[in-house]
Structure 1
Amino acid sequence: MTKSSIVSIDAIEILDSRGNPTVRVLMELDDGTEASASVPSGASTGEYEAHELRDGDKKRYGGKGVKKACENIVKQIAPTLLGMDASEQAKIDRILIELDGTDDKSRLGANAILGVSMAAAKAAAQSHHMPLYRYLGGAEAKRLPVPCMNILNGGEHADNSVDFQEFMAVPHGAPSFSEGLRYVAETFHTLKKLLHERGLATSVGDEGGFAPDLGSNEEAIELIVEAIEKSGYRPGEDISIAIDSAATSFSTDKKGHYDLKWSGAGKMQSIDLIALAKEWVDKYPIILWEDPLAEEDWEGFARFTSALGDKIEVVGDDIFVTNTKFISRGIREHTANASLIKLNQIGTVSETVAAVRLCEENGWRAFLSHRSGETADTFLADFAVAMQSGHLKSGSASRSERLAKYNRLLEIEHALGTDAKYYWK
């Protein structure tokens, strides 16, 4: 590869899919390459995530402005990186981490650091005339992820009576990514008809899934099973269900006590939620369960995995926050059998890659994910193919910032042609 030096780094404040400010980084190389990267933002966040720097000025965006993060990019990061080869991703990321000097990237802001890290990867890929997935993943990056589409929302992502945050349709039985996307998009539209017929709301939550008031959390599963069947598919064979409880959001102590307040199910302990999960996994075509317990309920998580880990994928999100330190502990203690992977939870491309590789090396799966506050940036789609993780959640079939990722994956599938691979495990 020829050297492509960074000659300019700039940053501006833009708006994410919730209308809140976020960072966009603009990078230019000496060969004329220009690239930009936009940083997502989460609503349901783990306590130990990398720190997203906000201005705190209540007169602007209710304190959520990111002018300080943009200023840090222009005044501190840019002078440090100018002249560096954009393709030296690991070196760039290491310098960013050292320049910040904190464990959680709170000085410069993880949003500032990640934006620059992503922009460098994009610029280097463009400079070397390679698609981003090939640049990051090499010649073997041919596997398209199974789209775990969020079609019904609750918890922190919706104002309704459902405690669990996401109910996803997973088209693991489809022959290709494009067919899998069709399976779940059709199921999404069928679900809308079912909700309308029953006089239930068809408004959507942050990630595009429907957010009706239901009689119970279980009713959400029943509705999805019915939608799968009425779409002409076989539950458990063509399409299964994935759940993200985001249990920290309804935990009273973030350890072993819970209050399913929105549905009215009441107070529970870890053992009660495990018993409920056993019942549902036996009864419904559930294939994956994310954050079934809270971020500090390590013992409960391990019991959940012991009880159900041989039947379903048990994914840790808030408990691991894409951090190799926490994932390593989870591997040692058999806390789960998979980790959610979010670029902005850890703050650089290199650290995110390291988290994926750690999972792979220890027989775990890595579940790539967007955030509830997204942008039209399609970095995540290419990254999912580069990492060959096998599955991805990127929201529903009703919001353009979510569909941008799915449409990019359709482009990649088309480009790969007969080389494209698609399978669950």
Structure 2
Amino acid sequence: MESQEELKDQAIAYYNNNKVPMRMQEVLNAMFHVQPEDVNGYVSKYFEDLSMAPTISKAVAIRSLDNKGCCSILTKLYCKVRNNEKLVGESRVCIDSELVDSCKDEDKDTEDGRTAEVDDAINLINNEIQNILISKTPSHQHALDEEVYSFVETRRIALLEKNEDRQAEEATPQPAIDDNKKGSKKSGKGSGKKKNTQIAIVPDKVKEVLYPGSSSVTALSQAFCTASAVLAGTSVFDHLIQSSGGDDYSICLPLPVITILQSGKAALGKSNCVKEFMVVPSPSMKFSEAIPAVIKLHGALMRLLCAKGGVTAKNVNDFGALCPALDKPEQGLDMIIEALSQQGLEMGKDFFFILNSSAHDYFDYEKGKYEVITGALKASEDMADFWTDLCNRYPSIIGIIDPVRPEEAASWNKVCSEISDRCLIITEKGYDRPGLLKNQTLDFHQFATSGLVMRLTGCNTVTHITECAKKMIDCGNTVMLAGGENESNSTLLVDVAIASKARFIKLGAPARGERIAKFNRLLELEEELGERRTQWGTLEFPVIPPKLPTPSPTDENETSTES
């Protein structure tokens, strides 16, 4: 056994090595001048500031349920804080479907597919990814986001290469065509049937294949956010602003884009061209005035629909929106304008319209036209006139999301050149996901927008969202962050929107707890921020000029010859 003298020497060495006597002397001297009422609290706070930075001890993911009772991911982040393991952050991530409303029934996501993605993400978090997080500092948001994303992205690329190799091996060579047999059939007049003329349809962008369990990326990114804010004793948006190197004192709260009515291809009625009728308050209106006004608007429309169609007419969908049977979009617009005027408010002054067209939903891929109203088809080149006419008759429309398919560049550019001077041309499907978009060089001569919708889902990290938002704002675009059909009570989206300087946040309707929680967060921040809160300026509409056709080499040669 060690003697008392040896133990004493070891204790003295241990305390001196950790500067305990010096620290005790410092705190006692400082405390004497302050003479605080809570002596132990003062000493505790002094040593707390000197303690080691918290480090991640484990990450635990389990199954949870979203607002629709579907499988989702609950991720809990534990850290070693002053020698104790504590739960410091968590996130709830829901899995949305990315299919259009008009897809075939057999193509629609099943709960089995959603559950498989959830289980794969949980397995990644609880095993492989957890091993790379141990002892890391959660406040290093950017570094952790990049490390987790790179881990999953590397496996995605490897999986793609493996699938390509397998497909190449399985591909069977096509038999050679005997030239002697070509044209063996008679080609005389009337010898064959009349040829079918097919419309050339620009295909949709190929859907990206993500690595199974990619939702683990955003699940952990959101958990890092909440953990860092808790440990720093600050709000999530302040943590994000500081971690990105910003020092903004003034804060602009995102304007809520609120879904009032839902229509579209999958809804009742003949009108297909507007999936969501949304309203946004004027920047000069306080949230404490705007949100109650929207709730009254929602209630007034509910009573109006009940009077016409009975009590079932007040039922709402997954977005919390009312779903009347509309035969044309003007009916929905007029209905909202009338209900708003009954409250003494004016559309175009107090509130404005933003329409979610979601053109992919009502595009007929067999006929190559847009079925704007059931039975009424419009060619792609006619869609610009359609939207121009609607915006001329309803000047309170300040934004349209995907008015045509972004893949149809000529039609998209024509819409932009016609109405971009008074209406934001916003896309949700026109660009790659934020993780890819933030590193891409944008060619606005080929495809231009004045707004972008982003979602904090899939393998998008919080860092991807904030960096991509900065890039698009610098390019003159307005940013809108959006929730999904499947949601939780988390209000993180509001804080990320603030840190991203998003002008709009798409929240759905003022119904159901998961959405009301986000409205309440906006109301709380309006009061808490005080002098830090600044109002948005006048909304600017960046004019997108018509695109001139690129001259062919033949044209250039002819021009040079003539000169």
TM-score normalised to structure 2 length? 0.68
Distance in 1 of aligned mates of 2:126 and 2:266: 33
Distance in 1 of aligned mates of 2:535 and 2:269: 35
Alpha-carbon distance change, 313 to 173 in structure 1, aligned in 2, over 3 angstroms: same
- Higher relative contact order (CA closer than 8 Å, sequence separation 6+): 1
Q: Report whether the alignment pairs 1:227 with 2:339.
A: yes
Alpha-carbon distance change, 278 to 259 in structure 1, aligned in 2, over 3 angstroms: same
Distance in 2 of aligned mates of 1:321 and 1:18: 28
Superposed counterparts of 1:179-218, under 5 Å: 179-199=289-309, 201-218=313-330
Aligned equivalent of 1:27, options 53, 74, 77: 77
Aligned equivalent of 1:148, options 257, 266, 276: 257
Aligned equivalent of 1:40, options 75, 79, 94: 94
How much does 1:338 deviate?
0.9
Q: Report whether the alignment pairs 1:348 with 2:453.
A: no
Deviation per CA, 1:372-404, whole angstroms, max 9, x where unpaired? Answer: 111111110111122222211111111111111
Q: Report whether the alignment pairs 1:109 with 2:213.
A: yes
Alpha-carbon distance change, 363 to 173 in structure 1, aligned in 2, over 3 angstroms: closer
SS across alignment from 2:296: helix
Identity %: 23
* Aligned 8 A contact 2:465 2:500 in 1: no
Deviation per CA, 1:233-269, whole angstroms, max 9, x where unpaired? Answer: 0110011111001111122349963224xx4153222
Structure 1 unpaired stretches of 5+: 47-55
* Aligned 8 A contact 1:114 1:348 in 2: yes
Distance in 2 of aligned mates of 1:254 and 1:142: 49
Partner of 2:135: 83
* Aligned 8 A contact 2:320 2:512 in 1: yes
Distance in 2 of aligned mates of 1:176 and 1:321: 35
Partner of 1:170: 280
Structure 1 stretch displaced more, 112-121 or 154-163 = 154-163
How much does 1:291 deviate?
1.1
Aligned equivalent of 1:320, options 431, 445, 470: 431
TM-score normalised to structure 1 length? 0.89
Distance in 2 of aligned mates of 1:35 and 1:156: 40
Structure 1 residue identity aligned to 2:349: E
Partner of 1:292: 403
Partner of 2:550: none
* Aligned 8 A contact 1:45 1:318 in 2: no
* Aligned 8 A contact 1:151 1:168 in 2: yes
How much does 1:278 deviate?
0.7
Alpha-carbon distance change, 272 to 18 in structure 1, aligned in 2, over 3 angstroms: farther
How much does 1:215 deviate?
2.1
Aligned equivalent of 2:150, options 87, 91, 98: 98
* Aligned 8 A contact 1:157 1:207 in 2: no
RMSD: 2.5
Alpha-carbon distance change, 126 to 160 in structure 1, aligned in 2, over 3 angstroms: farther
Alpha-carbon distance change, 273 to 25 in structure 1, aligned in 2, over 3 angstroms: same
Deviation per CA, 1:387-423, whole angstroms, max 9, x where unpaired? Answer: 2222111111111111111111112222112332233
Alpha-carbon distance change, 257 to 361 in structure 1, aligned in 2, over 3 angstroms: same
How much does 1:161 deviate?
4.5
Deviation per CA, 1:301-342, whole angstroms, max 9, x where unpaired? Answer: 222111111101111101125435398536443521111121
Partner of 2:61: 11
Distance in 2 of aligned mates of 1:70 and 1:268: 46
Deviation per CA, 1:260-308, whole angstroms, max 9, x where unpaired? Answer: 4xx4153222232221211111111111111111242233222211111
SS across alignment from 1:344: coil
* Aligned 8 A contact 2:369 2:377 in 1: yes
* Aligned 8 A contact 1:255 1:297 in 2: no
Aligned equivalent of 2:480, options 358, 367, 378: 367
Count of residue pairs the alignment pairs up:
411
Distance in 2 of aligned mates of 1:22 and 1:15: 5
Alpha-carbon distance change, 225 to 254 in structure 1, aligned in 2, over 3 angstroms: farther
